[in-house]
Amino acid sequence: MLELRPSCEQCRRALPPESTVARICSFECTFCADCAVLLQHCCPNCGGNLVPRPIRPERDGRNGNDLQHYPAGTREVYQPTDLQEHARWLDSRGSKPT
C-alpha cells in the first residue's frame, strides 16, 4: 500500500491524497508535477522514473480499500535537490528515464 506522502520533497507543495499532480518513483519519493519536470522526470534519490501517483478512493468502493481504512501518510520529506548537479548527473548517465 502506498504511503501517499503529503507534500513535494523539492518545494513542499501540498499533495493531498486526491492530488492529480503528485508524482512518485518506485520507492515512493514524492514530487509535484512542476518539480518532476525540473528533475526531468528522474528521481534524484534513486534514479528511477517519476510517474503519476494513483489516487486512493475517499470512500469504500470495494473491500474497505479506501482512505478511511488506510489513511494517507503524514510524514513529510523535504530534501531539495540541486537542480544543476542533478542535470550534470543525468548527462553523465547518458540516458534519462522515460
What's the one-letter identity of residue 3? E
Instruction: Find the CATH number of the domain harbouring 49.
Output: 3.30.40
pLDDT of 61: 73
**Does some domain include residue 98?**
no
Exposed/middle/buried for residue 13 (C-beta within 10 Å: 0-12, 13-18, 19+): middle
pLDDT of 15: 98
**Does some domain include residue 76?**
yes
**Domain span at residue 34?**
1-93
What's the one-letter identity of residue 77? V
| 97 — pLDDT class (breaks 50, 70, 90) | low
Q: Number of structural domains, the chain?
A: 1
4-63 pLDDT, tens digit each: 999 999 999 999 999 999 999 999 999 999 999 999 999 999 999 999 999 999 987 778
**Does some domain include residue 13?**
yes
pLDDT of 12: 98
| 72 — pLDDT class (breaks 50, 70, 90) | very high
User: Does residue 83 carry a pLDDT above 80?
Assistant: yes
- HEC sequence for the chain: CCCCCCECCCCCCECCCCCCCEEECCCCCEEEHHHHHHCCCECCCCCCECEECCCCCCCCCCCCCCCCCCCCCCCCCCCCCCHHHHHHHHHHHCCCCC
Arithmetic mean of pLDDT, 61-78: 91
